[in-house]
Every structure is written in C-alpha cells, then in structure tokens.
Amino acid sequence: MKLKAVNIVAMLVLSVLSFPASAVPLAGNLMPGTANYFESFDPNQQPWQPGLNLNYEEVFKNYEFYEIVPDQNGSEITVNHYIRGDKAGSEKYLILPNGSLRKK
C-alpha cells in the first residue's frame, strides 16, 4: 500500500515538472489563440504584464486600444494596435523565459 502511494506521488511530481519545463508561461494568464483587448501595451516592462483587460463592449468606447493574441504554444504574441476602430499596426513578440518580450 505504501509503495503504491509513493508511485502515485512520484508520477504526479514528474508530470507537474515536465510541463512547465517545456512551456513558456503566458503573462497575465492570457488564453492561447484568443483575442484579448487592452488600453495600453508596453513591451519594455521587465517582466511584461498586460494592461487593463477590456471586455468587447469597452473596446469600442476607446479611441485607441490593443488586441493581443497569444499563439497556441504560448511562446509568442501578436499585438494589433487600433485607433478609432481602424488597424494602425501589427507586431509579433516572442515571450522570453524571464517574462520579457523580444520583437520578432
């Protein structure tokens, strides 16, 4: 009985340790593949954290906003800049292990 409990604990520890080692954590726990809307975007933060998250209705009340879409792996983000509802630009950033961003 004791050996079975030790095996279960060992499997849980190994499964938890193996996942984060290969994955890059998304700042602010952004959902991969999902558009997130923010009032501001500052890629120079160390570590980077997204600004105030806006819901869909709030986005169109703002003159300027940023749409941030993480890729499926969580290793990069696409940042679309909007002014008056028109796309003003788009950039891609890699999410580095220390949480900072590097323009791609």
Residue ranges of the domains in the chain?
25-103
pLDDT higher than 50, residue 101: yes
State the pairing for strand pair 64-70/86-95.
unpaired
| pTM (two decimals) | 0.70
Measure the CA dihedral 12/16/22/26, to 10°.
Answer: 150
State the pairing for strand pair 36-38/53-54.
antiparallel
**Confidence tier at 18 by pLDDT (50, 70, 90):** very low
Q: How high is the pLDDT of residue 26?
A: 57
Query: What mean pLDDT is predicted for residues 42-58?
Result: 83
